[in-house]
Amino acid sequence: MAPRTRTLSRFVLAPATAVAALIGFAAAPAQAAIWSSSDQWGNYTTSDGYILYNNIWGSGAGSQSIWANSSSNWGVRADHPNTGGIKSYPNAKKVVNKSITSLQSLTSTYNVTVPSSGAYNTSYDIWDSDYDYEVMLWVNYNGAVGPLGTSQGNVTLGGHTWTVYKGDNGANQVFSFLRTSDSSAGTVNILPILKWIKDTKGWWGNETIGDVQFGYEVTSSAGGLDFTTNGFGVSSS
Which pLDDT score is estimated for 19?
34
d(CA 162, CA 52): 27
Q: pLDDT tens track of the chain, all 237 residues?
A: 433 333 333 433 333 333 333 333 334 454 579 999 999 999 999 999 999 999 999 999 999 999 999 999 999 999 999 999 999 999 999 999 999 999 999 999 999 999 999 999 999 999 999 999 999 999 999 999 999 999 999 999 999 999 999 999 999 999 999 999 999 999 999 999 999 999 999 999 999 999 999 999 999 999 999 999 999 999 999
Residues in the chain: 237
pLDDT (0 to 100) of residue 54: 98
Nearest CA to 233 out of 182, 185, 192 is that of 185
Q: How far apart are CA 142 and CA 128, in angstroms?
A: 27
Q: Give CA–CA dist 167/185, Å, rounded.
A: 27
Give all domains of the chain, ordered by start, each with its CATH number: 12-236 (2.60.120.180)
**Predicted structure pTM score:** 0.87
Contact 112, 228 (CB under 8 A): yes
**pLDDT score of 32:** 73
Q: What is the pLDDT of residue 31?
A: 56
Task: Please state, in angstroms and rounded to a whole number, the distance separating the CA atoms of residues 135 and 194.
Answer: 8
